[in-house]
Chains A and B, each alone.
Chain A
Amino acid sequence: MLKAKREAPPAAGRGGIKKELPEHFKDYRHVWVFIELERGEVHPVSFELLGEGRKLADKLGIQLAGIVLGPPGDATQHAVAEAFAYGADLVYLVEAPLLADYRNEPFTKAMTDLVNAHKPEILLLGATTLGRDLAGSVATTLLTGLTADCTELDVDVDGSLAATRPTFGGSLLCTIYTLNYRPQMATVRPRVMAMPPRTDKPVGHVIRHKLSMTEEEIITKVLGFNLDRQSAKANLAYADIVVAGGLGLGSAENLQLVTNLARAIGAEYGCSRPLVQKGWMPADRQIGQTGKTIRPKLYIAAGISGAIQHRVGVEGADLIVAINTDPNAPIFDFAHLGIVTDAIRFLPALTEAFTRRLSPHSHDKLAS
């Protein structure tokens, strides 16, 4: 993760303004994390946010709550239990059949009603397709501030949320405050924050809230849901090992070298932004600021120069290996291991060497 250079000059604008919260906002308390439940599964970003929310709540000396919106049933109860297991002190639950599939109208209604009734100080959501759809509607309904795609969350000396996010494609970072409005809302992309440890805890205090809406009031109807094909479902963001290719591979055909290596070592594969723009790989394989953020144990970047927007998406990796012909490529500034060579020639050798090293029956494999 990018670390802040604190001695940098402050930005122009209202940076130095004195924050005095209006009286009617002073009873806002609790840090809330939206537990994103879709089609029976909790999105892991919700747990990552509980980890961050825990730190904020501890600094502020207030409680951490999970917000679960879902249909009656096991999946919703499971989401409640998991919220506690990942650190929530209490859970606000809206259970209603209307919340079975995500739709903007009932989810916005459920969330804004909860906020108005229970007044959280801070509200965090995952920057997923669902979270971004919901966050924009909720913030506009509540007329409060929303800072999108944060990479660092902290609490200022006066108790305000300091939300840091990349700007201009990751070339700069900015820290944003929500003055005089509550709740302070922020979204964070999956994998930007580390996954906190899970501990088995009994289900604690659950505060139930009714959804004051009927199906007749909801204009939008769900006709169906198509699950992505298994191949497309591959979860790049959460993979332990990732191999990615860049423009240095020269052609779309050479991406095979990347997928071959990935298959040999059980890795996911991806690419840098230019390859998506050229149409060599689909957008959901893009790694970087405008694509996926990854935090694998091992990341192998082949023929990727390492532009800042790529860098912000991969810096959470434990070990970064870069292969590039240009010894001055920026990727060598943040990779741990580097090889100055042509990835087109090197990848097949690496694939073969891995196969040989990993398999006890290597000779059979090589022959087949």
Chain B
Amino acid sequence: MHIVICIKQVPDSAQIRVHPVTNTIMRQGVPTIINPYDLFALEEALRLRGAHGGEVTVLTMGPPMAEDALRKALTYGADRAVLLTDRCFAGSDTLATSFALSRAIVRIGETFGAPDIVFAGKQTIDGDTAQVGPGIAKRLGLLQFTYVAKIAAIDLDAREITVKRRSEGGTQMLKSRLPCLITMLEGTNEIRRGSLDDALRAARSQIVKWSAAEAGIEDLTKCGLRGSPTVVKRVFAPTTRAEKATQIDMTDKTQHGVADELIAAIFTRQPALEHELAFDGGQ
């Protein structure tokens, strides 16, 4: 089977700092990583390849430096990496991004074989929208399964797939057909340690690089800023609360004494709580 997995290179958000005066993101020196949610999808793709044979193609859209993320994906064992990179994609929102990626997936299908499954992460840690996966599915007319906790069964001959999907308050078991798009839930698996062979192969691999034209994208009005219905009009820092926390002094007091003092302070500020707790708490 042929599996395409879409990944994104993101700044490691734990290390992002905002400039205190200009309110701009200080990108210098912030390391980039593969969006952590994508790794669950990548691992699932590699497991399916292990069980059913075939190939895993990793796809990303981004600046030339996104090649690093693709090479990293190759070290985990992906067979092939495609980088969609072109200045015309700059400023893409989710609609424009899903357009470009869906065209690239069509071109991947024409070049390397039609995919049976397209994977994506649940969401990214920088955009957090969770909308690009569904967007790609709709553009390609693929059946869509988001928040998948488990792929229960795949029957390649019958072209059938059964997935367990997270929903509010429970999980759905869904039976459907290939090809489809799946976004994997976090915590469903653990990314493997790539083998030494894979690491060596990744270092030598040629990354397939496509411009918009090479990916078969002719209608540039659907790309980048021009193809994005949403526009960021203003970026600003959240304001901080004026006053800091009222500290309860610990000097010369026991933990129990301070605990009593804290509870008194809580009930002074939220008098209704004491009444509610007396009836509901302590069970």
Contact = CB atoms under 8 A, between A and B. Distances in A.
Contact of A340 (B175, B237, B247): B247
Contacts of B98: 140
Q: Which residue among A127, A224, A233, A339 has the maximum number of chain B CB atoms within 10 Å of its CB?
A: A339
Could you tell me the dominant secondary structure of chain B's interface residues?
mixed
Interface in B80-95: 91, 93-95
A interface bracket (residues with beta carbon within 8 Å of B):
35 or more
Given A136-B134, A173-B236, A265 B277 contact: yes
B29 interface: no
A116 interface: no
Contacts of B239: 2-5
B235 A173 contact: yes
A367 interface: no
A290 B162 CA distance: 28
A176 B137 CA distance: 24
Given A173-B238, A297-B273, A146 B258 contact: no
B28 interface: no
Given A136-B94, A146-B94, A266 B282 contact: yes
A263 B246 contact: no
B174 A141 contact: no
B169 interface: yes
A309 B13 contact: yes
Contacts of B263: 350, 353-354, 357
A346 B258 contact: yes
Contact of A175 (B93, B232, B256): B232
Interface stretch (A12-20, A57-65, A70-78, A207-215): A12-20
A115 B11 CA distance: 37
Interface in A314-329: 318-322, 327
A350 B259 contact: yes
Interface in A196-242: 219-228, 233, 240-241
B173 A222 contact: yes
A8 interface: yes
Contacts of A129: 146-147, 166-168
B131 to A, nearest CB: 4
A264 B282 contact: yes
A137 B145 CA distance: 11
B115 interface: no
Contact of B174 (A2, A15, A103, A298): A103
A324 to B, nearest CB: 10
Nearest to A186: B230
B241 interface: yes
A102 interface: yes
B233 A298 contact: no
B238 A170 contact: yes
A157 interface: no
Contact of A139 (B131, B236, B258): B131
Given A148-B128, A346-B255, A283 B187 contact: yes
B1 interface: no
B129 A171 contact: no
A248 interface: no
A300 to B, nearest CB: 9
Given A4-B239, A297-B270, A338-B248, A132 B146 contact: yes
B193 interface: no
A331 B245 CA distance: 9
Interface stretch (B16-24, B48-56, B59-67): B16-24
Interface in A273-323: 282-283, 289-290, 297-298, 308-309, 312, 318-322
A130 B168 contact: yes
Interface stretch (A47-55, A81-89, A161-169, A252-260): A161-169
A117 interface: no
Contacts of B232: 11, 13, 15, 174-176
A352 B256 CA distance: 8
B77 interface: no
B260 A353 contact: yes
Interface stretch (A26-34, A90-98, A177-185): A177-185
B269 A336 contact: yes
Interface in B235-283: 235-241, 244-248, 250, 254-256, 258-260, 262-263, 265-266, 269-270, 272-274, 276-278, 280-283
Contacts of A179: 229-231
B180 to A, nearest CB: 9
Nearest to B269: A319
B201 to A, nearest CB: 29
A15 B262 contact: no
A62 B235 CA distance: 29
B219 to A, nearest CB: 12
Contact of B138 (A136, A166, A241, A282): A136
Contacts of A41: 169
7 contacts: A2-B239, A132-B131, A133-B144, A136-B138, A219-B176, A266-B282, A337-B246
Given A166-B128, A179-B229, A321-B266, 17 more contacts: A15-B234, A38-B168, A39-B170, A133-B134, A135-B131, A136-B94, A136-B138, A137-B137, A145-B228, A169-B16, A172-B25, A172-B237, A175-B235, A227-B169, A228-B170, A264-B281, A337-B248
Interface of A: 2-6, 8-11, 13-15, 17, 36, 38-39, 41, 43, 101-105, 108, 127-130, 132-133, 135-137, 139-141, 143-149, 162, 166-181, 219-228, 233, 240-241, 263-267, 282-283, 289-290, 297-298, 308-309, 312, 318-322, 327, 331-341, 345-346, 349-350, 352-355, 357-359, 365
Q: Name the 4 nearest CB pairs between A and B, nearest first.
A: A136-B134, A145-B229, A338-B245, A8-B236
